A and B are shown apart, each in its own frame.
Chain A
Amino acid sequence: MLRIREDRQAVARRIEVARVAVGAMLSLLAVAYWIVQIVHGDYYFSLSENNRIRAVKVTAPRGYVLDRHGVPLVENEPAYTLHLYRREAKDLEGSVAFIIDLLGLNPEVVRSRVERGRRDPEFVPIPIAENLGIEEVAAVQARAAEHPEFAITVSQRRLYKHAGAAAHALGYLSEATPDQIKNSNDAYGVGDWIGQKGVESAYERLLAGTSGERRVIVDSHGREVAEEARLEASPGQNLFLTLDSKLQDVAEEYFKTRVGSVVAMDPRTGEILALVSSPSYDPNWFTRRVTSAEWAGLLENPDRPLQNRAIQNMYSPGSVVKPFLAYGALARGLVDPEWRVFCPGHATFYGREFHCHKKGGHGLVNLREAIKESCDVYFYTLGQKLGVDRINEILTGFGFGTVTGVDLSFEKAGLVPSEEWARTKRGARWYPSETISVAIGQGPILVTSMQVARALSALLEGGRLPTPHLFYASQDPRTGAQLRYKAEFLQGPTLEADKLAIVKSGMWAVVNEAGGTAYGSRVNGVEMGGKTGTAQVVGHDTAIKAGADKSKLETHAWFAGFAPIQDPGIVVVVFVENGGHGNLAAAPLAKALVEARYGIAPAPPPPSVRASGTSAPGFARAAQRQAP
């Protein structure tokens, strides 16, 4: 085929055409701008002078948080902020002096705020003081005629109705951190409030709603004249928690004077009925802007009030671990229910002497009695039969060593030892004598209260591990439409009913048979089962010799209970730091919670409990109030 090369002249001609077209096009644009800027210039100028439209964000009202019965836990209340409009002030210094005097404000704070505000354009109001009281608002408004430069704006502030109650479940609000702003895809800006920790953080998107926008017309002073258009904010969802206020109140009262945590949960669904971590803090502090003294107090408190002890602190489980190991040994056929161990109060394993908590010994005990009386020698022997890797397998099956997935952040996973763990993670081989300690929940084994609650639920529900949760339902405040939480489960190894029955019978005996370790806490009218535990504080004896504070060296007290025996509707895990023994320090709260759950007026407390001073009048009151 003949190829005819194109003449360069043809391209050159087209370029000439293009030059004309480019010139014409740009000229046309100039004409268009002439029309907009010169012909209609006055019109647009007047628009820009008189109709300045500004976009103002409308924050959506944040959803309320309520308990499962609709008792409000967190609401919003109006908060008044005082602003200074510089353009209106004839004598700025005079105005500042006036307001400092009128409201008794800190002069340094006010002056530094005004200084900072001066960097903004003049029409931007300077915030002078937040959270004014009603009298202060009235005082400013009474002088509005002489001092038009001061204006008061109303906004919504978060109100935690019961101060520190359930603080760790609820969380708190604070101004969004720079990182949170950066990661929010423009949803949050400087000065916006955002949930931190607790359900405030976990369900931030539900609670916050979607902010709206107003286009307002402002005058040349930047003051609002009229509203041009409005995109309504859609309010946040109300959040119903699984918490039951009457149980929560009982638990809060109990922990007023103690350090520790309690988790009460419905074993069938994982609904958390009460959650306390003590000491607590008042989430209202943060919405009122924490003072540095308050921050220092929170941070320097050695008991770390900001920590949620139920999920963030890990402890040795002590004897609470025994029912799980007992079941594991039964299921694996290593022991039969009537196999007996003689307990003289101590025993020797691998050349080391181990003591039973009962100095005189329990005599000949079978599995049920060993659980009931918490015989250590029985479980030492059982642990030796099991070995650490089988212990690991049993406890992992009950969910120890992994997070429960509760809808709260910063949950810890705990530790279940194994030979491999010792070799790879710890870097020192596993000693068989350690197995003996682990069999009674001491040594290198760590759990959280939440894990114990979940594991006990699995023991009661045939191996089904419920995922603990606080979300009960959310509700659209405009339509009332509800969204319910669908319970989630992990399926552990399926448990055998007949073997479970033996373990449960032992746990029943703990509370209901004379000689059981929590016999003092039996409940009238509903049968509670459970297991006490006492976790040693590491380095106890050495520290005593060194003259340490004795109250900090008391053992930690555990109690993990459930009720009723048939078809349990509640599990309660109580942990009292330095509380002494589980039967005295922890079990009475479980009893009180079971009574609150089933509406039972408490019987007069048995003498032993009264003597120990653990019966707080508060829960008697609370329980009576709720009785049908």
Chain B
Amino acid sequence: MIGGTLQTGRRLDLVVLGSALCLAALGVLFVASATTGTRFQGLAARQAIWIAVGLGAMVAAILFDYRMLLKFSFAIYCACLLPLVYLLAFGARIANVRSWIRFGQFQFQPAELAKIATALLVAYLFENEDDARLHLSTVFKLGAIVGLPVLLVFLQPDMGLALTFLPLIFVGLFFGGLPARGWIAIFLVVAVIAGAGWFMLKDYQKARIGTFLNPDADVLGSGYQVRQSKIAVGSGGFSGKGFRGGTQSQLRFLPVQHTDFILAVIAEEWGFLGVILVLALFATLFLRALKLAQTARDRGGVFLVLGLTGMMFFSVVINASMMIGLAPTTGIPLPFVSYGGSSVATTFLAIGLILGVQYRRFANA
């Protein structure tokens, strides 16, 4: 089960690992910039602790044979959904949502772990459903596997986190080979559901979407965040105002700047160059991960890497769009960079799984 000792990293993909570590380091740096001198002071150190926890999880994931995890993926999936059910029933509300479990000083969002478990089960599904033609039954199974945690998280209610599960459906359908008419059918179904769903959204969620469509209508309310973050990003210009020199961020105009809006702080203080640096690091990571997916030794490994990468990519695109008003503020963090222990730790766990697939790409490993 344990795949021997690591051979001095030679077989580990340093491109993926390196870009992930660079992004995490940027995160600590800018969490420090955004929180120094505020009541959140000290969160950068805490973020570093979580990165260490994440690295531990990553090493464990590399050493552990992912084939084993795939085999038990259904049990893992169930085990990870249980805390979500528990939270809905008994969870204490923090910031009005029931998404946190407390361990003494630390809090953890079990939904983050559920993302990994769901990706595992989706990979296991496609490991076995390997026909040339994508069956309708597979589509429904996929929908059920992803739909259940989405529903549980949506009820917390954490719309942003619920949305981050959805790329798994897209990954399954696209790489599973859904034909064009299938896409059309799905598009129609989604349009109908979206129409009905509007009536189920909480008021503040509607407000956010309304704000996205017309940010100037509500300058005091949720439009404020978008407007302030746009000013922060835009005023950074080409090379930025210098580290800790961002007036928008340092004068605390930005809300939750160390979590969801960390990219706006980078954009203000390091300018367009800083944004390019972040985007380039993500591009390196994703393109390399997709390359690794091609070399995986089995179909389960391929889909595992694709699912995990797809979720990360989706978060990056939505978060970066959010900063400049191209997407509604849904509370999706920037992977590796945003402050948030559960997010950082589980993202590194995902990296560990990707590296594990790559590490065992030869059948005899």
Q: Which A residues lie at the B interface, using CB under 8 A?
A: 3-8, 10-12, 14-15, 18-19, 22-23, 25-26, 29-30, 32-34, 36-38, 40-45, 47-49, 52-55, 119-121, 123, 185-186, 190, 213, 215, 222, 228-229, 231
CB-contacts of B224-242 with A (<8 A):
224, 228, 230-238
- List residues of chain A with CB within 8 A of the CB of B236: 37, 41
Query: Complex Cα distance A10/B95, Å?
Result: 46
* 10 sampled A-B residue pairs with Cβ under 8 A: A5-B131, A10-B177, A14-B177, A18-B290, A19-B291, A36-B230, A37-B237, A41-B236, A44-B233, A49-B247
Decide yes or no: A229 and B219 within 8 Å by CB, A37-B272, A45-B237 being known contacts. Answer: yes
CB-contacts of B316-343 with A (<8 A):
316-317, 320-321, 324, 326
Distance of A176 from chain B, by nearest CB (Å): 14
Distance of B311 from chain A, by nearest CB (Å): 13
Q: Which residue of B lies closest to A44 (CB)?
A: B234
Q: Is B211 close to A, CB under 8 A?
A: no
Q: Which residue of B lies closest to A215 (CB)?
A: B220
Q: Is B248 close to A, CB under 8 A?
A: yes
Query: Complex Cα distance A33/B272, Å?
Result: 7
- List residues of chain A with CB within 8 A of the CB of B256: none
Decide yes or no: A38 and B287 within 8 Å by CB, A6-B132, A14-B177, A15-B175 being known contacts. Answer: no
- List residues of chain A with CB within 8 A of the CB of B219: 215, 228-229
- List residues of chain A with CB within 8 A of the CB of B290: 15, 18-19, 22
- List residues of chain A with CB within 8 A of the CB of B275: 30, 33, 37
Q: Which residue of B lies closest to A48 (CB)?
A: B235
Among B66-74, B152-160, B276-284, B350-358, the stretch in contact with A: B276-284
Q: Is B271 close to A, CB under 8 A?
A: yes
Distance of B202 from chain A, by nearest CB (Å): 16
Q: Is B276's CB under 8 angstroms from A30's CB?
A: yes
- List residues of chain B with CB within 8 A of the CB of A41: 234-238
Query: Complex Cα distance A504/B135, Å?
Result: 89
Decide yes or no: A45 and B279 within 8 Å by CB, A33-B324, A54-B251 being known contacts. Answer: no
Q: Is A26's CB under 8 angstroms from B175's CB?
A: no
Decide yes or no: A52 and B313 within 8 Å by CB, A6-B132, A30-B276 being known contacts. Answer: no
Q: Is A22's CB under 8 angstroms from B313's CB?
A: yes
The 4 closest A-B pairs by CB, nearest first: A44-B234, A48-B235, A41-B237, A45-B235
Query: Complex Cα distance A22/B314, Å?
Result: 10
Query: Complex Cα distance A51/B250, Å?
Result: 15
Decide yes or no: A32 and B326 within 8 Å by CB, A22-B290, A23-B287 being known contacts. Answer: yes
- List residues of chain A with CB within 8 A of the CB of B253: 52-55
Contact of A40 among B234, B267, B282, B283 (CB under 8 A): B234
Task: Tell me which of A12, A15, A40, A186 has the highest count of chain B C-beta atoms within 10 A of its own C-beta.
Answer: A15
Q: Is B44 close to A, CB under 8 A?
A: no
Q: Is B361 close to A, CB under 8 A?
A: no
- List residues of chain B with CB within 8 A of the CB of A123: 251
Number of residues in B with C-beta < 8 Å to the partner?
55
- List residues of chain A with CB within 8 A of the CB of B287: 19, 22-23
Distance of B357 from chain A, by nearest CB (Å): 13
Distance of A518 from chain B, by nearest CB (Å): 55
Query: Complex Cα distance A15/B220, Å?
Result: 44
Query: Complex Cα distance A610/B326, Å?
Result: 86
Query: Complex Cα distance A54/B255, Å?
Result: 11
Distance of A33 from chain B, by nearest CB (Å): 5
Q: Is A33's CB under 8 angstroms from B267's CB?
A: yes
Distance of B255 from chain A, by nearest CB (Å): 9
Q: Is B181 close to A, CB under 8 A?
A: no
- List residues of chain B with CB within 8 A of the CB of A42: 237
- List residues of chain A with CB within 8 A of the CB of B132: 4-7, 10
Query: Complex Cα distance A25/B93, Å?
Result: 36
Q: Is A48's CB under 8 angstroms from B276's CB?
A: no
- List residues of chain B with CB within 8 A of the CB of A18: 174-175, 290, 306
Q: Is B220's CB under 8 angstroms from A8's CB?
A: no
Query: Complex Cα distance A231/B39, Å?
Result: 25
Query: Complex Cα distance A5/B132, Å?
Result: 5
- List residues of chain B with CB within 8 A of the CB of A4: 131-133
Q: Is A44's CB under 8 angstroms from B247's CB?
A: no
Decide yes or no: A6 and B37 within 8 Å by CB, A14-B174, A33-B272, A37-B238 being known contacts. Answer: no
Q: Which residue of A lies closest to B317 (CB)?
A: A25
Q: Which residue of B lies closest to A42 (CB)?
A: B237
Q: Is B344 close to A, CB under 8 A?
A: no
Q: Is A33's CB under 8 angstroms from B131's CB?
A: no
CB-contacts of B256-296 with A (<8 A):
267-268, 271-272, 275-276, 279, 282-283, 286-287, 290-291, 293-294
Q: Is A14's CB under 8 angstroms from B175's CB?
A: yes
Decide yes or no: A36 and B233 within 8 Å by CB, A15-B306, A22-B286 being known contacts. Answer: yes
- List residues of chain A with CB within 8 A of the CB of B237: 37-38, 41-42, 45
Q: Is A12's CB under 8 angstroms from B234's CB?
A: no
Decide yes or no: A229 and B220 within 8 Å by CB, A22-B290, A49-B247, A121-B250 being known contacts. Answer: yes
Decide yes or no: A29 and B230 within 8 Å by CB, A37-B237, A37-B272 being known contacts. Answer: no
Q: Is A22's CB under 8 angstroms from B233's CB?
A: no
Decide yes or no: A37 and B234 within 8 Å by CB, A12-B294, A19-B291, A231-B220 being known contacts. Answer: yes
Q: Is B302 close to A, CB under 8 A?
A: yes
Query: Complex Cα distance A30/B278, Å?
Result: 10
Known A-B contacts: A11-B299, A33-B233. Give 19 more (CB < 8 A): A4-B133, A5-B131, A8-B299, A15-B290, A22-B283, A22-B287, A25-B317, A33-B276, A36-B230, A36-B234, A37-B233, A41-B237, A44-B230, A45-B234, A48-B268, A52-B253, A120-B37, A185-B93, A215-B219
Query: Complex Cα distance A185/B283, Å?
Result: 39
- List residues of chain B with CB within 8 A of the CB of A53: 228, 253
Q: Is A52's CB under 8 angstroms from B251's CB?
A: yes
Contact of B37 among A11, A23, A121 (CB under 8 A): A121
Query: Complex Cα distance A228/B324, Å?
Result: 22
Q: Is B235's CB under 8 angstroms from A44's CB?
A: yes
Decide yes or no: A6 and B177 within 8 Å by CB, A37-B275, A53-B253 being known contacts. Answer: yes
Q: Which residue of B lies closest to A7 (CB)?
A: B132
Q: Is B279's CB under 8 angstroms from A26's CB?
A: yes
Distance of B358 from chain A, by nearest CB (Å): 14
Distance of A99 from chain B, by nearest CB (Å): 26
Query: Complex Cα distance A123/B247, Å?
Result: 12
Contact of B272 among A14, A34, A186, A229 (CB under 8 A): A34
Query: Complex Cα distance A42/B253, Å?
Result: 19
Query: Complex Cα distance A119/B235, Å?
Result: 27
Query: Complex Cα distance A305/B279, Å?
Result: 65
Decide yes or no: A5 and B130 within 8 Å by CB, A38-B238, A121-B37, A213-B220 being known contacts. Answer: yes
